[in-house]
């Protein structure tokens, strides 16, 4: 059945979503007046990410795929690590048949932000100033899992 195949193939994509969020890029820039590069000390950073649309280990609901409404799922995360200036979100599927496939690129999210609503609009700049890039479907914003037939 097509839905079961989609659910099986979406486990990797769901994991990629959660891992991408947990590995959100932190822009920790040195002071502007410094002429020499500043090395940041490595430290442990934790960030909890979740969605009310699905739980860890569950399939991504059809609503968030090409076979449904193909809207972005709602996401929430914990307090940002000290020194975070902004977030970047890259949602990719490392197990796609043609190699790593990017479903969403969103950047310049405020370090004070703690959530993204369901169905983030597909526009370059969002009202909060964050920016979206094109995904590997060639579209702006989020495009959900859509395994080949």
Residue 76 pLDDT greater than 90, yes or no: yes
Question: Do residues 95 and 111 make contact, with C-beta atoms less than 8 angstroms apart?
Answer: no
What predicted TM-score, i.e. pTM, was given to this entire model? 0.71
Domains of the chain: 2-26+46-132 (3.90.280.10)
Q: What is the pLDDT of residues 9-47, one digit of tens each?
A: 444 344 334 334 433 333 332 323 333 444 446 667 778
For tokens 């996401």, the residue is 75
CA distance 119 to 142: 9
Q: Is the pLDDT of residue 122 over 90?
A: yes
Confidence of residue 49 (pLDDT cuts 50, 70, 90): confident
87's CB contacts (< 8 A; 6+ apart) are 24, 25, 26, 80, 107, 109, 110, 111, 113
More confident position, 114 or 17: 114
pLDDT at 80: 87
The lowest-confidence range among 41-55, 65-79, 114-128, 130-144 is 41-55
- Residue 45 pLDDT: 73
């Amino acid at each position: 059945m097509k839905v079961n195949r989609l659910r099986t193939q979406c486990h990797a994509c769901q994991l990629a979503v959660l891992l991408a969020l947990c590995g959100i890029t932190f822009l920790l820039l040195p002071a502007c007046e410094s002429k020499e590069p500043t090395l940041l000390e490595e430290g442990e950073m934790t960030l909890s990410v979740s969605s009310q649309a699905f739980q860890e280990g569950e399939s991504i609901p059809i609503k968030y795929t090409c076979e449904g409404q193909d809207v972005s799922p709602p996401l929430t995360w914990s307090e940002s690590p000290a020194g975070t200036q902004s977030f970047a979100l890259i949602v990719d599927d490392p197990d796609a048949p043609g190699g790593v496939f990017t479903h969403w690129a969103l950047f310049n999210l405020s370090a004070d932000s703690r959530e993204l609503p369901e169905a983030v609009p597909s526009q370059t700049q969002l009202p909060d100033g964050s920016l979206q890039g094109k995904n590997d479907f060639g579209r702006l914003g989020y495009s959900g899992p859509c395994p080949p037939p």
